[in-house]
Amino acid sequence: MSPSLMKMWISLASMGFMFISLLMIYLSRFKLGGILKVITAIIAYFLMVVSGIIIVLVVFSGPTSD
């Protein structure tokens, strides 16, 4: 697999993490209660931070030679 294709899949996974975290934040704010609300929110914000870091690394790693 070429480096360009690998970067594409990594950034796609990061966007997937963002979408999952968006759904989890919605659930934790409006649908869940109690300790499940807190656990869901923590996981969602963790996924959001990880996806942001991955996107920054992919963008600033520069273009590939392929």
The number of beta carbons lying within 10 Å of the beta carbon of residue 47 is: 20
C-alpha to C-alpha distance for 53 and 24, rounded to whole angstroms: 19
| Model confidence band, residue 63 (pLDDT cutoffs 50, 70, 90) | confident
Q: pLDDT tens, 11-47?
A: 999 999 999 999 999 999 999 989 999 999 999 999 9
Model pTM?
Answer: 0.85
Handedness of CA 8, 1, 47, 50 (dihedral sign): negative
